[in-house]
A and B are shown apart, each in its own frame.
Chain A
Amino acid sequence: DQQVKQNSPSLSVQEGRISILNCDYTNSMFDYFLWYKKYPAEGPTFLISISSIKDKNEDGRFTVFLNKSAKHLSLHIVPSQPGDSAVYFCAASDGNWGKLQFGAGTQVVVTP
């Protein structure tokens, strides 16, 4: 049973514009949410996280928004750059020994 869902397998955005990636979850026990970026032939790289007690966290060009009532989070990348082209994974933890559950990923392509 997939408890973390990324329903958009791909996203194309122009350089300089905003990229918005979405993630939905079903388990109300999740208390921490994370975003990872993955380039081909590399391991995932941690980008940004948010605790369930917050609704927004910002780090440079990356902002994550959490809507607990809707069980929805999103990652905003502003402005998008060509180097942002990668697969982005949403992940969630329920505090259970640090285990993470990952979404299916969204392939982002930033075009010039």
Chain B
Amino acid sequence: SAVISQKPSRDICQRGTSLTIQCQVDSQVTMMFWYRQQPGQSLTLIATANQGSEATYESGFVIDKFPISRPNLTFSTLTVSNMSPEDSSIYLCSARLAGGVEQYFGPGTRLTVT
């Protein structure tokens, strides 16, 4: 398995500002992902974080709004840009080990936009 940490664990931000969330994995993983869980809803995949190249975004998510970096095999960041109250969610990082299908999740970042 993999142990994943995220920072910050929670934040309250003002409309129009940006927040960068960090994700650190304790082992080298093949794939890292970013999800959003809006209140009362399921997990929705935002993008796959690719090492050394641009992230692959799912339908409905764009790089300008959610820029993602992955400079090495164990670290990734997600920025939520120009925030609005609709961005209030839990943002989760996950990772998949080589040869496995299961993903391991971080504890999440609870974001509230006022």
Interface residues of A (CB under 8 A from B): 32, 34, 36, 41-46, 49, 89, 93, 97-105
The distance from the CB of A93 to the nearest CB of chain B, in whole angstroms, is 6
The distance from the CB of A21 to the nearest CB of chain B, in whole angstroms, is 14
B contacts with A: majority SS: strand
Residues of chain B contacted by A45 (CB below 8 angstroms): 105
Q: Are the CB atoms of B48 and A97 closer together than 8 Å?
A: yes
Q: Tell me the complex Cα distance, A104–B94, Å.
A: 18
Q: Tell me the complex Cα distance, A98–B106, Å.
A: 17
The distance from the CB of A46 to the nearest CB of chain B, in whole angstroms, is 5
Closest to B110 in A: A41
Whether A99 contacts B4 in the complex (CB less than 8 A), given A93-B101, A104-B41, comes out as no
The distance from the CB of A7 to the nearest CB of chain B, in whole angstroms, is 13
Q: Binary interface profile of B, 101-112, with partner A (CB < 8 Å = 1, else 0)?
A: 111111110100
